[in-house]
Amino acid sequence: MTTTALPAAAPDGAATCQPLPRALARMLSLEDFEAAARRRLPRPIFGYVAGAAEDNQSLQDNRRAFAQYGFMPRVLVDVSRRTQQTELFGRSYSSPFGIAPMGISALSAYRGDVMLARAARAQNIPAILSGTSLIPLEEVIHEAPGTWFQAYLPGDPAKIDALVKRARRAGYETLVLTVDIPVSANRENNVRTGFATPLKPSLRLAWDGLTRPRWLAGTFLRTLMMHGMPHFENSFATRGAPIVSASVLRDFTARDHLSWEHVARIRKQWPGTLIIKGILHPQDAALARQHGVDGVIVSNHGGRQLDGAISPLRALPAVVAAAGGMTVMMDSGVRRGGDVLKALALGAHFVFVGRPFNYAAAVGGQAGVHHAIGLLRAEVDRNMAMLGINRVREMDASLLWREGSVGG
């Protein structure tokens, strides 16, 4: 395969020259991966990843929120010693961003969850394995020690206990509880693109697969031959239903009664780092701290749950104020290094990125994920230099201007 040598960011922000496949050399930003993935993936699979809830108000506002902040850089600052190194829960990471949990990633790329976790480990950033993944959590952490596990809590306390024990037994040290799914969202956009849960064989799906032969042979048929029909592997302590089973819907319901009592129960059992994902209201951040949670991820699920929910970037300052020193992270809408730095300026300790890394895996496999991480890392590095900072902890609100501010 023809390759082109392009500069890529090393973990310390220095530029190195690495050969890239021609298809990846054309990817100059995270947004470029989305257009390429649209061509590579069957319409229902791409629609599932790209889709959001109802009218896409939250999805669109996640990006709009970043555009309402501008930078006020400092100049003539010696930035020759800049580093992105970030301390998080006692561990040092090479950049202040990681890979967010994404369900059924193994339908976008062959063994997608393993691919994402391996790339993250190699680049020394965290990856979070989704509870709706199609690869057993034991296999993922074996391939990539240090991966975090994100759980959608089952409705039954005994099943919650068993799932927590399973994750602990497998060697996970960080457990992320996603709490913004009391009921299933209204994802009309998925239906319009032909995606359904359970995944239903149809002429339309067959045609989409046949017209994307690289995905059909390299991902779907390869998965069937090597591993059989994909199952939801990590929803419970035992193997879940296959993706084509009608019982899938039953497995993802009965969560509307979950409460902070369940968090307290898990806190007593889980000796490692415990994180709550899906916080938008400052009072919930305060409750998380009261229940002994180690950190929260401010998130509206990438716009995939409650349409019209406030964007995490807008919610961030109030949540940070209520968190009382607890670690606050953020996801949803991050596409550029500048976005990462804006989130840090508003109080986030760390940022997670989802869809773009899924697209990168679909387009270029593990090399694609490496390239996507490198692009984002290089943007953070350049922006730090132009803002006049040497360490990410120097990024604060004094370097931001908000649309509508006095004097604007």
Is 225 exposed, middle or buried (CB count within 10 Å of its CB: 0-12, 13-18, 19+)? Answer: exposed
pLDDT digits (tens, 9 = 90+) for 40-81: 999 999 999 999 999 999 999 999 999 999 999 999 999 999
Nearest to 304 by CA among 327, 333, 269: 333
- 400 pairs with which residues across the strands? 71
Q: Which residues are catalytic?
A: 301
| Ordered alpha helix ranges (H), 171-259 | 188-192, 203-210, 213-215, 222-227, 247-251
pLDDT at 111: 97
Handedness of CA 200, 206, 207, 213 (dihedral sign): positive
With H, G, I as helix, E, B as strand and everything else as coil, classify residue 228.
Answer: coil
With H, G, I as helix, E, B as strand and everything else as coil, classify residue 293.
Answer: coil
pLDDT at 153: 86
Q: Which residues are annotated as a binding site for FMN?
A: 101-103, 130, 150, 178, 277, 299, 331-335, 354-355
pLDDT at 97: 98
pLDDT digits (tens, 9 = 90+) for 70-109: 999 999 999 999 999 999 999 999 999 999 999 999 999 9
The pTM of this model reads 0.93
C-alpha distance from residue 166 to each of 132, 228, 390 (Å): 15, 23, 41
pLDDT at 6: 40
Q: Which residues are annotated as a binding site?
A: 48, 101-103, 130, 150, 152, 178, 187, 277, 299, 301, 304, 331-335, 354-355
Q: Which residues are annotated as a binding site for glyoxylate?
A: 48, 152, 187, 301, 304
Domains parsed from the chain with CATH numbers: 47-189+248-401 (3.20.20.70)
Query: Mean pLDDT for each 10-residue chunk of the chain (408 residues)?
Result: 42 54 92 96 93 93 97 97 97 98 95 98 98 96 98 88 96 96 85 79 80 92 93 87 69 74 95 98 98 98 95 98 97 98 98 98 96 98 98 97 71
pLDDT at 66: 98
